[in-house]
C-alpha cells in the first residue's frame, strides 16, 4: 500500500485503483476496480479490500491511475487479417461489442473520411452524439486516435495487433485506459492486387 500511496501522491487525487491480473481485466462484475478515491485513507482502505478479495499484491497486480474524465467507453483495435491485411476496428467497449458484435471495420491505412465513417457506422453511435440529452463527446479526438493507430500499424509491419480498451471519449479529449501491442515478424504477403474487407 505504501507504493500505491506514493504513486497517488505523484499523480494527484482523485485516483483509481485497479487489479490488472489477467483473469480480472475487463470483468467489472468481479469488482477489481475502485474509482474516485479522494485521499490516502480511501486508497489504503480500497487496497485492503482488493487484497482481501483477490489475494496478494503479486496476484492482484494493482495499478494506481489518475481518474479520467467521464465519457463513453470505446474500443479501438488493429489486427492483421490473413485475407485482407491490416484492419482497423471500432466499437463501444463492453456488451455492445462483445455480445452484439457491434463493431465497424476499415482497411489500413485509413483516411480522415474512413475514420469519420467508422465512428458513425456502429449501431450504438447515437451514444457518442448526445443521445437523449447526454453530452456529445469529442469524436474528432477519437478519429485522430484511430488515424494514429492506423499509421502505427501501416508504418511498422512488425506491429501485428493493437488493442486500446477502454478508450474513454469525454466531451473534451480521449483517455486510453488500457493498451496492448503485439509484435511479431511481419506476415508474408504475396497478394499485391486490390484488398477487400471480409465480412466480420
Q: Is 106:87 a contact under the CB 8 Å cutoff?
A: yes
Q: Is the pLDDT higher at 55 or at 50?
A: 50
Q: Is 143:150 a contact under the CB 8 Å cutoff?
A: no
Q: What is the grid cell recorded at 149?
A: 493507430
Domains of the chain: 2-66 (3.30.1490.20), 72-183 (3.30.470.20)
- Burial class of residue 154 in the structure, from the number of CB atoms within 10 Å of its CB (0-12 exposed, 13-18 middle, 19+ buried): middle
Q: Nearest to residue 174, comparing CAs of 182, 165, 183? A: 165
Location of C-alpha cell 470483468: 27
- Whether the pLDDT of residue 186 is over 70: the answer is yes
Find the mean pLDDT for residues 50-66.
Answer: 89
Find the mean pLDDT for residues 157-183.
Answer: 96
Average pLDDT, the chain: 92
CA atoms of 27 and 181, how far apart (whole Å): 20
Task: Give the model's confidence band at 126: pLDDT under 50 very low, under 70 low, under 90 confident, else very high.
Answer: very high
Task: Give the model's confidence band at 63: pLDDT under 50 very low, under 70 low, under 90 confident, else very high.
Answer: very high
Q: Output the CA–CA distances (angstroms, integers) from residue 99 to 51, 60, 103, 189, in the order listed.
A: 30, 27, 11, 32
Tens of pLDDT, residue by residue over 138-165, are 999 999 999 999 999 999 999 999 999 9
- Whether the pLDDT of residue 196 is over 80: the answer is no
Find the mean pLDDT for residues 62-90.
Answer: 94
Tens of pLDDT, residue by residue over 85-121, are 999 999 999 888 888 899 999 999 999 999 999 999 9
Q: Output the CA–CA distances (angstroms, integers) from residue 46 to 12, 27, 158, in the order listed.
A: 17, 17, 40
CA atoms of 144 and 146, how far apart (whole Å): 5
Amino acid at each position: 500500500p505504501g507504493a500505491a500511496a506514493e504513486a497517488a501522491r505523484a499523480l494527484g487525487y482523485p485516483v483509481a485503483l485497479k487489479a490488472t491480473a489477467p483473469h480480472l481485466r475487463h470483468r467489472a462484475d468481479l469488482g477489481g476496480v475502485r474509482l474516485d478515491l479522494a485521499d490516502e485513507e480511501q486508497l489504503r482502505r480500497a487496497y485492503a479490500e482488493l487484497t482481501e478479495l483477490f489475494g496478494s499484491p503479486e496476484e492482484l497486480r494493482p495499478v494506481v491511475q489518475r481518474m479520467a474524465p467521464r465519457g463513453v467507453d470505446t474500443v479501438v483495435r488493429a489486427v492483421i487479417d490473413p485475407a485482407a491485411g491490416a484492419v482497423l476496428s471500432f466499437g463501444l467497449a463492453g456488451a455492445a461489442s462483445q455480445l452484439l458484435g457491434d463493431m465497424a471495420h476499415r482497411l489500413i491505412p485509413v483516411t480522415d473520411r474512413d475514420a469519420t465513417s467508422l465512428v458513425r457506422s456502429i449501431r450504438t453511435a447515437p451514444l457518442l452524439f448526445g443521445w437523449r440529452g447526454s453530452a456529445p463527446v469529442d469524436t474528432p479526438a477519437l478519429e485522430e486516435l484511430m488515424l494514429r493507430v492506423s499509421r502505427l500499424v501501416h508504418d511498422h509491419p512488425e506491429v501485428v495487433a493493437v488493442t486500446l480498451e477502454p478508450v474513454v471519449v469525454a466531451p473534451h479529449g480521449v483517455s486510453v485506459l488500457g493498451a496492448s501491442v503485439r509484435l511479431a515478424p511481419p506476415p508474408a504477403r504475396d497478394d499485391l492486387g486490390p484488398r477487400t474487407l471480409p465480412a466480420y
